[in-house]
Structure 1
């Protein structure tokens, strides 16, 4: 397992993070315990959860697993923002909701401090300064060590970073976005914003919902041990759209070729590519079974060759038709200028 700094903080985490969204839902408590034991035994030290995962049950399972363990290097991350009740103040990034949500997460996890507290999504109704002031207070009080964001846009990130600096607040250290070979649009502005601020990326869905693991076949309805196969109504529209794109199958074909040549799995290739991307601190794994996790952990020390990375970068390049990112657009001109320096 490789270890990296948690964004611009001094904490150190493994390059693969164990996500716990399946805990209490697709993975029962006994299975969840096995997954966490397996992950730690492999050298992992970074767990990611959220209050809304299984309506708080995921945090409770992690808390019960942590009880009695002396894992001083373990870094625990959770999130707050989405509804945890029916009332109008039971969601959002207001001081009122976050205060209640943070205390509840601390109780469910059974810890005195959360290492990384993440804002699960942007809140357009709450003044940003209110959120940042709350987070700064939480750092100063010792309830959290660091904070980060999830699913923020580039301008959200930059505004928050500079407001924190202007007010003398603690700064965000990470961003958790969707990022994989099939979904690379964050490279337009989100990644540059994070790099400018020194923030680390914690990509979720690095296997593109299973597409990059080789589970899906062209023009064939998924069956068996896939989320869509077990529940055909789930994400059917997204499946049909992705299945119809030539880019999807070109990417999958490249991943499969490299996996065969390296004698590794497709999932390991996709995870290794993501872990090697600029600004990435740790890639979040979303395993449901010990077998899936074992396969994913095989990517921890996999280093793709420069030729393999170039092939994957080229075949998965974000599609940019026109202004401002495409041919003749501002982004294209800037890249040419920067390349000539």
Structure 2
């Protein structure tokens, strides 16, 4: 496993991390979570990501219980959670980035996780109804209590991150160390273009999500098929019509993935490993958040590690030639 600094901090995180968005609480409980986490940990993964909104808080409960039962030393792993969406309450005070929700939400997350602190806490989305100064002050209060050691943002614009840092500089506070954006072969402009000035200026790190574009980049949906057991068959995905959006409206992506297969074959890896390695090759990425519902998927994800070094400029050029301008 390779370990990278979380942005400009001294915290070392595994280049591949493990997220609990799709599986914990929706598909699996503590027993299954323990198996997946143990397999990750054996492979060197030390970073586990969650959020208050995942399964309306159940994912945090499952992650915390699984880690406790596995008995790993708390100093040996990193846990993150995210605050914004709440856990299902319709009350206007139970979501957003007001000082009230950040502090109450962080406290509730720690209770569900059964931990005295998380290592990293994110503002899960920007909140246009709350002044950024209020949010920056509240996140620093959470840090001052020892409830978290670092804070970051998720899906914030460059301007919003800049403003947060400007507030922190003016007040002598800690700015966001990391951003958690979507990043994959089909979704890359924000990471590669919009955030570009922030890497050197602010030492911004990235913990990226959806490296496989909801499974599109694994090749399992080739031809528009929908194999049994895939996430698009889950009720919550059917309700959102995500399958139709991914497999019909963006059918050209499936065809491009098929064209990537010879490149993966040449490198001796799966399409998923190629896609993960492509994300990890970006030096601004501190960690690529992976997901899995099967031990075999964890093993396949870990198999991406040796592929990173194989992505030479020539190989990357071949990938870019296939994808062309077909990305956001």
Secondary structure in structure 1 of the residue aligned to 2:51: coil
What displacement does 1:230 show? 5.2
**What are the within-5 Å matches in structure 2 for residues 105-254 of structure 1?**
105-186=109-190, 187-218=192-223, 220-229=224-233, 234-235=241-242, 236-243=244-251, 245=252, 249-250=255-256, 252-254=257-259
Match of 1:273 among 264, 274, 278: 278
Alignment-derived partner of residue 82 in structure 2: 79
Alignment-derived partner of residue 29 in structure 2: 28
> How far apart are the structure 2 equivalents of 1:152 and 1:238?
24
TM-score normalised per structure 2: 0.91
Instruction: From the superposition, tell whether residues 309 and 109 of structure 1 become closer, same or farther in structure 2 (CA, over 3 Å).
Output: same
Alignment-derived partner of residue 93 in structure 1: 97
Q: Is the 8 A contact 1:77 1:114 kept in 2?
A: yes
Instruction: From the superposition, tell whether residues 57 and 249 of structure 1 become closer, same or farther in structure 2 (CA, over 3 Å).
Output: same
> How far apart are the structure 2 equivalents of 1:80 and 1:12?
23
Deviates more, 1:134-143 or 1:202-211: 134-143
Listed one character per residue, the Cα deviations across residues 175-207 of structure 1 (whole Å, up to 9, x for unaligned) are 100100011121231344344321111110000
> How far apart are the structure 1 equivalents of 2:327 and 2:107?
44
Q: Is the 8 A contact 1:195 1:279 kept in 2?
A: no
Listed one character per residue, the Cα deviations across residues 255-291 of structure 1 (whole Å, up to 9, x for unaligned) are 3112111221110010000001141010000111111
> How far apart are the structure 2 equivalents of 1:317 and 1:202?
25
Q: Is the 8 A contact 1:178 1:204 kept in 2?
A: yes
> How far apart are the structure 2 equivalents of 1:230 and 1:66?
26
- RMSD (CA atoms): 1.9
1:13 aligns with 2:21: no
Q: Is the 8 A contact 1:254 1:311 kept in 2?
A: no
What displacement does 1:71 show? 4.2
In structure 1, runs of 5+ residues without a counterpart are 322-341
> How far apart are the structure 1 equivalents of 2:266 and 2:174?
46
> How far apart are the structure 1 equivalents of 2:232 and 2:72?
36
Match of 1:311 among 303, 308, 318: 318
Larger Rg: 1
What displacement does 1:305 show? 2.5
Q: How many residues align?
A: 317
> How far apart are the structure 1 equivalents of 2:270 and 2:206?
24
Q: Is the 8 A contact 1:212 1:255 kept in 2?
A: no
